[in-house]
Structure 1
Amino acid sequence: MPRHIPRWLSAAAGAMLALAAWIPCTHAEERIDDGMRERVAACTACHGAEGRAGADGYYPRIAGKPADYLYHQLLNFRDGRRQYAPMTWLLVNLPDDYLREIAQYFAGLHPPYAANPRTQAPAAQLARGEALVRDGVPGRPACAACHGADLAGIAPAIPGLLGLPRDYLLAQIGAWQGGTRATPAPDCMATVARALSPEDVAAVAAWLASQPLPAGYAARTAPDHPLPIACHGVPQPVATEAGP
């Protein structure tokens, strides 16, 4: 027998046990509920206790992310718009309501962030990354224009960008570029990602991963201006007309 069980297989087994505690029923009083901590054990097996992040740089922090963002990602994995077989396998039989409960549970957790290891990168690359994140360039909106000036995200559906490992950022931008990560139209991140050169992707990931987390880092409740590009699931501020 193998000495080590793959993490995703162990997590999958946990998911099946957790799913057994949530069996859709006609009457709410028939629902068996052992508590969310036990029911999301398969999630925390990879994403860390309370969703703080995995130790290997590829399982991101999910604690405190906006609930709609987490919910949409669970739907995307389940329905094949995001390609990662272990996640799809875990979610394929879970109903929408249960996925929303999982999203709301992790959105309500706010454990302290781990110290962010400083990314080593050439100064010119970091400067390019900061310019793309803060200011953008013609045809490529700045990251801050959607994710907020503090890059903490905007509830209910835009995640923060700090506290994520460079390898994870590189993998996700690459997934949008290659079509293995997608959302229903309008898929704004795919549009932005595909306009980035490999050098730009490396610069953005390096700069974001190198930034310290400010105190009180958390998603804002609403954008203070219309977003520069339409995104699925993200409500747009409504411009008010001037009075007479």
Structure 2
Amino acid sequence: MTMLFTLAEVHVVAIKCVQPSLKREGFSEVPDVTWEDIGGLDNFVDIISLAADLSFYVVFQKLKETFPRGFLLFGPPGCGKTLIAKAVANEAGASFVYHKLDALRSEEYGWVVHRVIKQLDGAEQRQGVYVISAANRPDLLDNALLRPRRFEKRYYVPLPSPDERGLILKAHARKMPVDASVDLLATAKSEACEHFSGADLDVLMRLANDIAYKEMKALKGIGADATQWTICAGHFEKG
């Protein structure tokens, strides 16, 4: 079985290749996050292409030596780095595990660097393990991790543009009772959403949904025949 690991945020962990007892070791099934769940993918064309290539190697149960051992995602917090890693795993049909340690500096966590490098460099130990790292501050990572054939590929994940914010809101709205009259693109381009990350937009959608739900419950409490709720433009403004 092919494994896929992610190193989350500004944190790095020692990688282990574990075949049995996946549940005990923290593995999940193939993530259900798809590219459609992310939205605003114009900046990630290269990553999507790499994920497609990875799925090809997964079919053959082997990551060839010519294939990268992993790559680094970096950018501001909340921009969807972990979601991207899960979408890559979904595309490849690979199981996924999330690990997190304190910020890595070589003089403090040299043993972690050593174990990560050992796994990155040891093809016989990797046995189908593919590594995705995600960092808010890549400048804090040990330079040894960024050398060729380790995390040589690096992708910047920026804050979404106004148009991309709209696409991200639309992605979140697919599973929410948003009224057809709501212009999500206009909402995303509003001054209130300026500089919002994907995580911020997710919070906005959930807050609007909570407000709509509470309004429905209040109406039901005074005897109104209310069993459903709909998210309207005003709920986004209140959120």
TM-score in same-fold range (> 0.5) = no
Structure with a larger share of its residues in strand: 2
| TM-score normalised by the chain length of structure 2 | 0.28
Relative contact order (C-alpha < 8 Å, sep 6+): which is higher? 2
| TM-score normalised by the chain length of structure 1 | 0.28
